[in-house]
Amino acid sequence: VTGGAHGIGAAIAARLIEAGATVTIADLDPRGADSAAAIGAQFVACDITDTEQLANAVATAAGSEGLDISINNAGIFPTTGPVASVADDFVSRMLDVNVRAQFSATREAAAHMPRGGSIVNMASIAGLGGGANISAYAASKAAVVSMTHAHAIELGPSGIRVNAIAPGIIDTPGVQEQLEPLRSSGVDIGKRIAANPVGLAGQPDHIARAVLFLVSGLAAFVSGHVLVVDGGSTA
């Protein structure tokens, strides 16, 4: 599970452990070592944009037995701002982490899946539609969607299913950080996060449960699918 130190990735790692999997968390935040220890996962310090570190993390997770599941969750979502203010290096960084590194993670993981397996990419509802001031992020997540389709077609014959989840707003450290300016200006963040048809504040575990479905035998005939988990906000 990349980016498993916090937020959605941490919840996914916990659910996978509960289901009996042996889990490795790869994250650039060294605090991930504590998150991993708390649930009985292995931790590898890794910046997924560094191909050597990524390859090492995947090989460590695979050990001598290989991998069955890979969760490409790590991603960044700094505020993009209006298009006129978005610099090239900002766009490059967004695409480097959210697209190129996820692509590399699939390449490395698939090489360690001799029995076939299941890969889940973390997309976003931002990659399915538009939105003001999030264009670079939206573009990166749209690329995750098309990459999911293409890798599902290519890796299916090797017994590897590739799916994505498109979460709506989920209450994570990353989202709290991003919404801080709104909170300071008096906006009720809790209400904001729960502003969807089912009226629930999206929690990391809502996404983890969907991941559990996708990697299980229940989803044996599901590949190339983008599962929207957003409380109906894009319905």
| Residue positions annotated with a catalytic role | 137
Comparing CA positions, the residue from 76, 51, 99, 68 lying closest to residue 1 is: 68
Residues 6 or more apart from 38 whose CB is under 8 A from it?
none
Contact 24, 41 (CB under 8 A): yes
| CB of residue 47 to ligand NAD, shortest distance in Å | 5
**Residue 78 near ligand NAD by CB under 6 A:** no
| CB of residue 157 to ligand NAD, shortest distance in Å | 28
Q: Which two tokens stand for residue 137?
A: 């992020």
Build a one-symbol-per-residue string for 40-59: x at contacts with ligand NAD by CB under 6 A, - elsewhere. Answer: ------xxxx----------
The whole-angstrom separation of Cα 185 and Cα 65 is 52
Among 28, 95, 219, 229, binds ligand NAD (CB under 6 A): 28
Contact 1, 168 (CB under 8 A): no
Among 73, 118, 163, 223, binds ligand NAD (CB under 6 A): 73
**Residue 231 near ligand NAD by CB under 6 A:** no
Q: 25: which strand partners?
A: 43
| CB of residue 231 to ligand NAD, shortest distance in Å | 11
Comparing CA positions, the residue from 80, 104, 139 lying closest to residue 26 is: 104
**Residue 164 near ligand NAD by CB under 6 A:** no
Residues that bind ligand NAD (CB under 6 A): 2-3, 5-9, 27-29, 46-49, 73-77, 97, 122, 124, 167, 169-170, 172-175
